[in-house]
A and B are shown apart, each in its own frame.
Chain A
Amino acid sequence: MDNLTFGLTMLIVGMGGTLLTLYVLTLVITAITRLFPADKAGARRD
């Protein structure tokens, strides 16, 4: 594999993988916050 192919592979898989993973995490966080909603007594205002 030449350097250009290596670099492009890292760009596509790396950047794409990071974006995809963080997108999955946004869905997971949304699910967590819905599963464990804040109640008035114990919640932290951000």
Chain B
Amino acid sequence: MLEAILAGLSALSEGVRFLSTQGGPNLVMLGIAGVMFYLAVAKGVEPLLLLPIAFGCMLVNLPLSEVMSHEGVLRTFYDMGIGNELFPLLIFVGIGSMTDFSPLLANPRLLLFGAAGQLGIFLTLLLALALGFSRESAVAVAAIGACDGPTVIYVSNLFAGLGKIPEAMVGSLAVAAYSYMALVPIIQPPIMRLLTTKKERQTPMPPVAGRVSPTALMVFPIVVTVITGIIAPKGLPLMGMIMLGNFIKVTGVAGRLAKASENEIANIATLFLGLAIGGTMLGTDFLRKETMLVFALGLVAIVIDTVGGLLLGKLWYLLSGGRINPLIGAAGISAYPMAARLVQNEGQRWDKQNFLLMHAMAANTGGQIGSVMAAAIMLSVLKGLGVI
């Protein structure tokens, strides 16, 4: 009897024994989960994503946790929506439904900033290869330059599913991507000031006079889907889902679907995606030199994105005889609408009468399309090269 009681008590203390003997990495990860809780709750840093990611990270790193083992709850979420790419795509439906493309349709030429804002992806790819990453890992890391969490998860998980990169890397990439997206207000303004002169920053932009017809808004998502799908079919799920969400919204005939896309579908997918991503952050797999490099390269990617947009802005400023404010180029990334607001704030800082918001929104929605397009083209080129 006494032996049985002791055996039972011993079983209950196994967790403590595990932590004291080989739980170092787990304790570090529990600390990281704590930092993520703090950032999300106290600082408001991407709470919708960081809270479930941090909770998943905590669950998987508690001693002897089985949440990511076969049939564990987080493994089920992972297989249900990460392993098959479903959750990022559902989030894209929501993003499409939340995005207003009318500023872009009124100023289509500003879409080009959305291409310049992807420079970080491709230069970071070169840098990652130089640092010894495998081709697939380098592409996955470079995708952080898309400044778009679901795109990063989609691309990295595609490689993880093919066994080309470790599953734990999906977690580090996702956390890096969302962290830097949240840090865009800290990363971008110093670069804007460094690369532009006061005169350039004060360049006035005329009020947007254009109007957009509802028919044009409805035709736009269909045409974009068809054209980009023909050019880069590997990215069709990404672009298709964004444009589906937008199409549902702008038609105005399926309000319930639009509301569900923006709210229930996006929210449920975000919750499960976050938990499952957090579940990949097991200490022994996560705490590696590569993870530190992923974070460093992610920062480099977003800095280069901003530089790329600003340089195109400066070129445009020169070619147009000073009629384009180069700050707008910084909005050519996918962090919507944060990047556009930053450009507006920075412009007003130097001239209170200068309203750059609608121009920046056009560039920013261009950045959303550009980031997805860049990822789609990368995947299609990789297929063409026989890498995937």
Contacts and interface: CB of A to CB of B under 8 A. Distances in A.
Interface of A: 1, 3-4, 6-11, 13-15, 17-19, 21-30, 32-33, 35-39, 42-46
Interface in B353-388: 358, 366, 369-370, 373-374, 377-378, 381, 385
B378 A29 contact: no
Residues of B contacting A: mostly: helix
Contacts of A6: 129, 135, 385
Contact of B105 (A3, A10, A22, A46): A46
B210 interface: yes
Interface stretch (B55-63, B216-224, B259-267, B315-323): B216-224
A46 B381 contact: no
A46 B210 contact: yes
A44 B377 contact: no
A44 B227 CA distance: 25
19 contacts: A4-B129, A10-B139, A13-B381, A18-B118, A18-B374, A18-B377, A19-B116, A22-B114, A22-B370, A25-B227, A26-B112, A32-B223, A33-B106, A38-B212, A44-B102, A44-B213, A46-B102, A46-B208, A46-B210
Contacts of A23: 112, 115
B154 interface: no
Nearest to B228: A21
A46 to B, nearest CB: 4
Given A18-B373, A26-B108, A46-B208, 10 more contacts: A7-B125, A18-B115, A18-B377, A21-B232, A22-B111, A25-B111, A32-B219, A32-B220, A38-B213, A43-B213
A29 B104 contact: yes
B112 A44 contact: no
Q: Which of A11, A30, A46 has the most CB of B within 10 A?
A: A46
Contacts of A7: 125-126, 129-130, 138
B281 to A, nearest CB: 28
B126 A22 contact: no
A14 B335 CA distance: 20
B211 interface: yes
Contacts, number: 137
Contacts of A9: 381, 385
A29 to B, nearest CB: 4
B95 interface: no
Interface string B117-134: 011011101100110000
A19 B125 contact: no
Contact of A22 (B112, B121, B123, B358): B112
A19 B135 contact: no
Contacts of B130: 3, 7
Given A22-B115, A29-B220, A32-B219, A17 B105 contact: no
Given A14-B377, A19-B115, A44-B102, A24 B212 contact: no
A7 B122 CA distance: 8
Q: Which of B108, B121, B220, B223 has the most CB of A within 10 A?
A: B108
B185 interface: no
A17 to B, nearest CB: 4
Nearest to A29: B108
